[in-house]
Amino acid sequence: MHGVLVTYRRPQAIATMLDCLAAQDRPLDSLVVIDNDPAESARAAVAALATEGETTAPSVRYIAAGANIGPAGGIALGMREVLGGAADDDWVVSLDDDDPPTWPEVFGRLVGLGGRLRVDDPRVGAVGMVGGRFSAPRARAVRVPDDELRGAVPVDWIAGNQFPVYSVAALRDVGVFDERLFFGFEELDFGLRLRAAGYGVYVDGDLWRRARESAGRLGLDPSPSRGLDDAGWRRYYSLRNMIYILRKQGAGGGAVRLAARGLAKPVANVPRGPRQAWRHLALNARAIADAYRGRMGLTVEPG
pTM of the model: 0.90
Q: What does the pLDDT read at residue 224?
A: 44
Gyration radius from the chain CA atoms: 19
- List pLDDT tens digits, range 244-273: 999 999 999 999 999 999 999 999 988 888
| Topology of domain 2-214, CATH | Spore Coat Polysaccharide Biosynthesis Protein SpsA; Chain A (3.90.550)
Q: What does the pLDDT read at residue 128?
A: 96
Map out the domains of the chain as residue ranges.
Answer: 2-214, 232-293
pLDDT over 90 (residue 201): yes
User: What is the residue-averaged pLDDT of the chain?
Assistant: 90
- pLDDT bucket at 220, cuts 50 / 70 / 90: confident
- List pLDDT tens digits, range 136-169: 888 888 999 999 999 999 999 999 889 999 999 9
Three-class DSSP category at 201: strand
Give DSSP secondary structure letters for 14-72. Answer: HHHHHHHHHT-SS--SEEEEEE--TT-TTHHHHHHHHHHT--S-SEEEEEE-SS--HHH
Instruction: Quote the CA–CA distance of 4 and 21 in Å, as a whole number.
Output: 12
With the CA atoms of 46, 48, 51 and 54 taken in that order, what torsion angle do they form, in degrees rounded to the nearest 10?
-70
- List pLDDT tens digits, range 75-93: 999 999 999 989 999 999 9
Closest by CA to 156, choosing from 119, 120, 200, is: 200
pLDDT over 50 (residue 229): no
Residue 51 CA, distance from chain mean position:
30
Per DSSP, which regions of the chain are E strands?
Answer: 2-7, 30-35, 59-64, 91-96, 124-128, 131-135, 140-142, 152-154, 157-158, 165-167, 200-204
Percent of the residues in the chain that have a pLDDT greater than 70, as a whole number: 93
Q: What does the pLDDT read at residue 231?
A: 61
Q: What does the pLDDT read at residue 219?
A: 80
Task: Name which of 5-9, 48-52, 79-83 the model is least confident about.
Answer: 48-52
Stronger pLDDT, 59 or 281, i.e. the higher one:
281
